[in-house]
Amino acid sequence: MMTQGARRGLRAASVLFLIMGLPFAAEAQGRGRGAGGGGDSGGGISLSAQITISVGDRDAIREFYAVRPPQGVEGLPPGTRRNLERGKPIPPGIARRNLPGDLRSRLSVPAGFDVVEVGLDVFLVEVATGVIHDVLMDIVR
């Protein structure tokens, strides 16, 4: 039968073993041959945040265009539209229009971003790079 001191020693050794083994287990994760195995070479954790149009802003944009549909707006060619949906920058030849002032003033757009009309869609665009972060499809009707 184990004494009280032996049990404490066994528990302490178990906890120490777990604590010492965690960094190695976390570092080894994702290095196998299975799906998603690549990882970064630094061994660190990479996090990314997605910037999107908020739900409240989406509702405000939909309500605005439901009451005031623009005239003479055409959709984008299918290939261009697919590229924009994938997050590629807006090509130089594609006309983009700023949102009307009264709509723009209602939106909470993050610093460094802009919301523009392109064809029948509304895009959240990073100003510095022109990369698209979110799309509202067929909203301008």
pLDDT of residue 25: 43
Query: For the segment 71-121, what is each residue's pLDDT rounded down to a tens digit?
Result: 888 888 888 888 888 878 888 888 888 899 999 999 999 999 999 998 888
Comparing 8-12, 14-18, 87-91, the range with the smallest average pLDDT is: 14-18
Cα-flanking dihedrals φ and ψ of residue 122, to 5°?
A: -120, 130
End-to-end CA distance of the chain: 80
CATH code for the structural domain at 55-136: 3.10.450.160
Q: Name the residue among 136, 54, 61 with its Cα closest to residue 102.
A: 61
Q: Do 53 and 115 touch, CB atoms closer than 8 A?
A: yes
Give the bridge partners for 137, in sequence order: none
Q: What is the rounded distance in angstroms from the CA atom of residue 25 to the CA atom of residue 37?
A: 14
Whole-prediction pTM: 0.61
Cα-flanking dihedrals φ and ψ of residue 61, to 5°?
A: -65, -45
Round the average pLDDT of the chain to a whole number and report it: 75
Amino acid at 23: P
What is the DSSP track for 125-141? EETTT--EEEEETT---
- Has residue 2 got a pLDDT over 90? no
Ordered by start, the domain boundaries in the chain are: 1-45, 55-136
